[in-house]
Amino acid sequence: MENQKNIEPQKAADLLYQMLLMRKFEEKSAELYTKEKIRGFLHLYIGEEAVATGVIQTLKPEDYILGTYREHAHALARGVDAGAIMAEMYGKQEGCSRGRGGSMHLFDKEKNFFGGNAIVSGHLPMATGMALASKKLKKGNITVCFFGEGAAAEGEFHEALNLASLWKVPVLFVCENNLYAMGTALRYSHSMQELEKKGQAYGIESAAVDGMDLLRVMEAATKAVDLVRSTGNPYLLVCNTYRFRAHSMFDAELYRDKAEVEEWKKRDPIPQFREYLLKENLINEEQIGEMEERLKQEIQKAVDFAEAGTWEPEEDLGKFVYTQNSAS
């Protein structure tokens, strides 16, 4: 972590807290899933926290964000309330999507957080379209689209990048390359494994970065965001990262060796960043202890909020199905 040495102590502490919140929130979610408090699918982001934290902290409130079904960390980084996220996963109507979306469809209009999309690569054309709308309306904002390397093997990826380049729209495509699209290794699904070159093929400026190093992600994301904002052109940023947990809670994880997972855990972005801050005297052990206590309280508050939430009445189940009856 030799870059961005001028980071302010308060910002450094905030970034560490952000990543720890993501980690603790998801660990608690996994625990609650085993207790059947959370049902349906649950895809954890554990190991990839540096990407969501590093990219989203460079954005402005008016910028749009789209994500995949592995989007709890993105929502937290965007400032979506942890209680509203947990209530959504419980299926309670106090959730950020009124309990209708669950883990894979988190949404918050006030935060310009547009999903949570469950269809692999389905949101890339949406991101290009949203950026085109912003350009035509002269909004001055940018659209950021997070997706996995599995999406980069889909046709929508190529269509979205092609149109984004043709139309010259302000969209940042962020590929979270964790090497395994569900259970398929990158080497089996991509003839070109240097994914950033796929953007270059469409005339889009592209770069790859170590997605396990928060400061490097921040540096690359700052450059990318500044270019998209100043030029109005698209950009592809590939963050090479790794998920420490299975694809989902239903995944038997038979496709990768346990020794490989343990080797990647040695590069865990959170301890790396914490040790860097301690070494640079940007934080001390007492502050970290206080941070851990705050995190414990925040997570418990989110769980309590979800537990106290209410189920949607049966008579309301027909609402929001069609636009004409969407008024509350």
Q: List, in order of start, the domains of the chain with CATH numbers.
A: 9-308 (3.40.50.970)
Tens of pLDDT along the chain (328 residues)?
545 557 999 999 999 999 999 999 999 999 999 999 999 999 999 999 999 999 999 999 999 999 999 999 999 999 999 999 999 999 999 999 999 999 999 999 999 999 889 999 999 999 999 999 999 999 999 999 999 999 999 999 999 999 999 999 999 999 999 999 988 989 998 988 899 999 999 999 999 999 999 999 999 999 999 999 999 999 999 999 999 998 998 888 889 999 999 999 999 999 999 999 999 999 999 999 999 999 999 999 999 999 999 999 999 888 888 766 555 4
Angle between helices 49-56 and 9-34 (to 10 degrees): 130
Q: Residue 175 belongs to what H/E stretch? A: strand 171-177
Residue written as tokens 């914490």? 274
Q: For 110-149, write each residue's pLDDT tens digit.
A: 999 998 899 999 999 999 999 999 999 999 999 999 999 9
- Give me the phi and psi of 231, to 5 degrees please: -100, -25
| Contact call for residues 174 and 51 (beta carbons, < 8 A) | yes
> What SS3 string covers 131-170?
HHHHHHCCCCCCEEEEEECCHHHCHHHHHHHHHHHHHCCC
Q: For residues 72 and 248, what is the distance between their CA atoms, to the nearest angstrom?
A: 13
